[in-house]
Structure 1
């Protein structure tokens, strides 16, 4: 899993079977300070994340497991919207 920020959405009129009602978001991985932390990914969103929100993203097999009865061709899914987080000792490092 990784922390990310939703920076956009993807509109696709044609999708693979099982993805018809699936919202797709563009997520920028970030580090705990909010700085870019890697290459952007497209993640499925079933929980209603919006642009600008920090999210938790799961990748690979754990992401596909959420769609147990469907064989959906995804490798990333938003599994949480972050309200806040704490990194003990972070203030001393800055």
Structure 2
């Protein structure tokens, strides 16, 4: 799992048919303090996360499990919207 911040959305009218109905987000992978570790990644979202939200992402083949489609062509998917982080 990865911690990320939503930085944008993507609209793609022509795409793999398995992605129809999937919301696409631009995310920055961050550390617990909010420092970007990797920027410009693309994730699918079914939680309704918005720009500026911090989320937990599932990565790799595990990203397809919550979507219920083993053949879905995704590497990152939102699995939680973060309310608070307590980190030292």
TM-score, reference length from structure 1? 0.86
In structure 2, the CA distance between the partners of 1:8 and 1:19, relative to structure 1 (3 Å rule), is same
1:17 deviates by 1.7
Structure 2: stretches of 5+ with no match in the other structure: none
Q: Could you say which structure has the larger radius of gyration?
A: 1
Retained in 2: the 8 A contact 1:18–1:70? Answer: no
2:83 is matched with 83
1:82 deviates by 0.2
Matched residue pairs, number? 88
RMSD over aligned Cα atoms: 1.3
1:66 deviates by 2.1
Decide which structure has greater strand share.
2
Residue 68 of structure 2 is aligned to residue 68 of structure 1: yes
1:56 is matched with 56
Structure 1: stretches of 5+ with no match in the other structure: none
Aligned to 2:62, what secondary structure does the other structure show? helix
1:70 deviates by 5.6
